Amino acid sequence: MRRKSFGKMTCPIARSLERVGEWWSMLIMRDALHGMRRFDEFRTSLGIAPNMLTRRLNALVKAGLLERRRYSAHPPRFEYVPTARGRDFRSVLVALLVWGNRHFAPEGPSVILVNRKTGAAVDPVLADPATGRPVDEPDYALAAGPAAGRRIRQRYATNVARRAGPIVRVSGKRNRARPRTKH
C-alpha cells in the first residue's frame, strides 16, 4: 500500500514530514549530526537493511538535508554530510530527545544534552527571541501566515483570539490575563 504524499500540502508540518517523517530518516539524521558519514557506519549503527538505507539516504539527499560526496574513486565510495538545512534539523531532534526523556523513559534518560564547557545537563526551551519567554506559555498561538490558503486561514482564524484571553492592565501595561491553575 502506497502512503499519501504530503509534499503539495501548504502546512509546514506536513511538508516537513514529507522529507523526514519516515522513522529511519530521523535516525539517519541523528547519526549524521553525531558525525557518522559513511554507509557502513549508518548500517552498523541502525541495523537497517542495505536497500532501505540506500532509499532513505537518497531521499535525504533529494530533500536537501544531506550532501553526497565521493571519497574514493576505485571503488566508488560516498559519504553523506549534513547540509545547512540538515544542520537546522538538529533542534527538531533535540526537542524529540527532551520530549522522549520526559514522557517515555520511566527508567530515566539514556541520552541527555549537556553544555560542552561545563558538562552540566541542559533542558532546552523554545523561546521568543524578542522577549526571551518560553513559547509554550498561553500568550502564544499558531496563526495563518502570509502565504496561507483559505483552509489554513479558516483553521487558525480564531486561535489568536480564543487562546489569548482577556487583556488586563497591570502597572499601567497591557497584559494578557493568565488562566489560573490549581496546585
**What are the structural domains, with CATH classification, of the chain?**
12-88 (1.10.10.10), 90-124 (no CATH), 125-165 (no CATH)
Which residue is listed with cell 490558503? 149
Residue 156's SS3 state is helix
Burial class (CB in 10 A: 0-12, 13-18, 19+), 20: buried
CA-CA distance, 143 to 136, in Å (whole number)? Answer: 14
**Which pLDDT tens digit goes with each residue over 40-59?**
999 999 999 999 999 999 99
CA angle 30, 32, 36 (to 5 degrees): 120
**Which pLDDT tens digit goes with each residue over 85-123?**
999 999 999 999 999 999 999 999 999 999 999 999 998
CA-CA distance, 101 to 114, in Å (whole number)? Answer: 14
From the list 144, 129, 162, the residue with the least C-alpha distance to 176 is 162
Asked if 159 and 143 touch (Cβ cutoff 8 Å), the reply is yes
DSSP string covering 63-121:
TTSEEEEEEETTTTEEEEEE-HHHHHTHHHHHHHHHHHHHHH-TT--SS--B-TTT--B
Q: What is the pTM of this model?
A: 0.76
**Which pLDDT tens digit goes with each residue over 24-38?**
999 999 999 999 999
Q: What is the mean pLDDT of residues 138-167?
A: 76
Grid cell at residue 177: 490575563
pLDDT of residue 136: 83
